[in-house]
Each structure stands twice: as structure tokens, then as C-alpha cells.
Amino acid sequence: MVRDRLLTYAEHKVHRQVRTWLSAEAITANLRQELEGDRERLYSDALAAEFRHYCSVAGTNADDYKNRLLSVGGLELLTGIRFLGLDIARPFVDVIYQSEAVLTPDQLSAVQDAIRQEFAVFRPERLRFYSSSHLPHLTGDGDKRLLAAPLAVMLGQTKSDALYRVKVRQATSLTFYPEYAAIYCELHVESPKLRAVTRAESVDDLQGYLESGLLFEIFVDEAWAGVTAVFRDVNTGLGGLCVGEIVLAKAFRGQGLGSAVQLQLALQLLSQGSGQGELLFGTIGAANVPAQRAALRAGRVDLGGHVWVPL
């Protein structure tokens, strides 16, 4: 059965550290939940048509936008066409699950050949694999890293003086939105390349966080300094609170406050009823080394990440 095979393949992506944080039953439940979305994209005409509507490439039909199961030699892979930032000029193929956790160079070469042929109408430029950090490293350019830890583990970290300068408070309105949006405007002026990978959340998106009670304002020395938000999600066997936003205004960056913000966020989540075993996780761009260091200082563990392989 396809579902059972894919669930077995999904297990390959689970980091061994996660098995010390969660029970086998919880991990399987998280994998099943994540898997359902990937399976739906195998068969759903409606999802494929919607995808094509937003990323219409000449010569394609809706079925081309569905996920695809491919057999390459002795391998089976679940794959799908994707576009970076929904830009049809930046196509890539996502290798979502694979029947072997680690590919040999010969297997990788065969996969590249098969995918070039299978997705030829899109002319994809790259493949994207997920590589768990406890397995042999897959050669390629890094994309996003996944970092996670239970709240209790984070709060067991050594406290720096910066921790006491920072406060994270549950938001009660969106009156800060102009200041929040201005942070991104300034970032994009300073670093135009960031426009493609970072953006301010919309008012509607932040309203959703607000209504869930998971939107927070950051204060440094009692001055408004930025915004952070989380949402409930699953990812590679993890289940818990995913960081959907964390941004500091320019005046507060470069001071080592990033880890303090995350620790204060953990304290705030505990005060709102989250359990000490609840996981806080999220992805950080491979090039954003300062943010990765801040997450590591806050006690989060690098579990792996996506790797780009050229076609």
C-alpha cells in the first residue's frame, strides 16, 4: 500500500535525537499527519489545478503539477515540481521521500537522469533533498536548517545577561504593525536579495496568530524591539510549536539578543500552559549563520535540512 511504504520512507528523515524527546507512537502520528498532505498532492485534481493557476508553465496540464512516485533502479521516490517563491522562472524538483535514507553517487546520478526526463516540460534547475544531520552529509548547497528542542531543555541553558534585558509579551492588538512592516522595508533596502526569501507577514496572517494567542511583541530594555509568533505544526516526526516569525528592529540586532528572545519566548509559552516537553522548532536559512548560532545558544539542536543538488 502506498501510504504504508511512504510512512516507512518518512521514518528515514527522523533524527535519532527526536526519538529521545518523543515516543515512537507520537513520532508515527506526526509522520502520518504530515504524510497525508503529501499523499493528497499525488491524487487531488483540485490541488493540481490550483497550483497550475498560480504557476502556469507553457505546455503543461494540471496533472503535471501532482506529486509523482518514481522508480529508479531499486529506489522508489515521492517527488514533485516546485517553484522558489512561486516564480516559474525558478523551478526545482522536491524529493519528498525516498526508499533509502542515503544514496550512493551512482544512485544520485540515476535519480538526476530520471528526474530530468520526468519533469522535462518544466526544465527544473535543481533537486531538493532533506538530509538528516546524523547521517552522512549529502553534497550540495545548503538551503534551510531545522532546529528544535523541548522547552525544558532550552530553559536549562546557561543564562546570559542579555536574557534580563529582553521581555516577550503576548500581543493584544496589531497596533505595532506599521513599525513591524518598516523593519522589513529597511532590511530589503539594505539587502535587496532578501526580498526573495523574507517578507513581512500580512495583517490577516498576524491576526490569525493573535486570535490563537501565539503572537508576541519583543521588548528590549522596555523599548519595543520586534515581533515573534509560533503555530502548531508537524515536521519530519516533530510535533509542537513552530516559529513562524521572529524579527528584531535594526537597533537591536548584532547584540546577541536572539537567543535571549527565544528563551523568553519559551518562558512565555510555559506561562500560557505549554508543557515542558513541548517542542519548539523551526527552519533557518543556511546562510543566516547568526540566527543559527542564536538558536543553538538557546539550546535548540540542528536536526538537518534541505540540500540543493544541481540537475
- H or E element, residue 238: strand 238-248
Single out the residue of 288, 258, 232 nearest to residue 154, CA to CA: 258
Q: What pLDDT was estimated at residue 191? A: 81
Q: What pLDDT was estimated at residue 203? A: 96
- Cα–Cα dist 57/281, whole Å: 35
- Give the 3-state secondary structure of residue 35: helix
Give residues with Cβ within 8 angstroms of 133, minimum separation 6. 15, 302, 303, 304, 305
Predicted confidence pLDDT, tens digits, the chain (311 residues): 889 999 999 999 999 999 999 999 999 999 999 999 999 999 999 999 999 999 999 999 999 999 999 999 999 999 999 999 899 999 999 999 999 999 999 999 999 999 999 999 999 999 999 999 999 888 888 889 999 999 999 999 878 888 999 999 999 999 999 999 999 999 888 888 777 677 899 999 999 999 999 999 999 999 999 999 999 999 999 999 999 999 999 999 989 899 999 999 999 999 999 999 999 999 998 888 888 999 999 999 999 999 999 99
Q: What pLDDT was estimated at residue 309? A: 96
Q: What pLDDT was estimated at residue 141? A: 84
Helices (H), the chain: 2-11, 18-21, 24-43, 45-54, 105-118, 151-155, 177-190, 203-212, 258-271, 289-297
pTM for this predicted structure: 0.92
Homologous superfamily of 148-303: Gcn5-related N-acetyltransferase (GNAT) (3.40.630.30)
Intervals of CATH 3.40.630.30 along the chain: 148-303
Q: What pLDDT was estimated at residue 34? A: 95
- Contact criterion met (CB below 8 Å) for 94 and 308: no
Q: What pLDDT was estimated at residue 284? A: 92
